[in-house]
Amino acid sequence: MEQNTLKTTLSYLTSELNRIQTIAGTLSSIEEQHYKDLTSIGDDKLNQIALEEQNASRQLGEIKQLCIGLTQKIEELKQQNG
């Protein structure tokens, strides 16, 4: 692959991963707030929904961390390839 094309592709991937990371972080925060709001009501059915929200928040947090890790690897590749 041509050096310039590689750089452009890696920059694009970094940009998209940053977008995904931001979206996942925002959604994770919203889900965590939903969890807090729902558990404060004290209804068993809402508590079950709250647990699902909390699980979704954790999974989105994992996606955010994966994006951070992948972005770091891409930056390493960019530095290695000048």
Give me the domain span that covers residue 52. 3-75
pTM of the model: 0.83
pLDDT tens string for the chain (82 positions)?
587 888 899 999 999 999 999 999 999 999 999 999 999 999 999 999 999 999 999 999 999 999 999 999 999 998 887 6
Split into its structural domains, the chain has a count of: 1
Indicate whether 60 belongs to any domain.
Answer: yes
Read off the tokens for 74: 């891409």
Q: What is the rounded distance in angstroms from the CA atom of residue 45 to the CA atom of residue 51?
A: 10
Token duo for residue 73: 């690897």
> Is residue 82, in this structure, part of any structural domain at all?
no
Number of helical (H) and strand (E) elements in the chain, helices listed first: 2, 0
Does 81 fall in a domain?
no
Q: How far is CA 2 from CA 7, 8, 18, 35, 36, in A?
A: 9, 10, 24, 49, 51
Q: What is the DSSP letter of 39?
A: H
| 80 part of a folded domain | no
Query: Is 48 within the bounds of a domain?
Result: yes
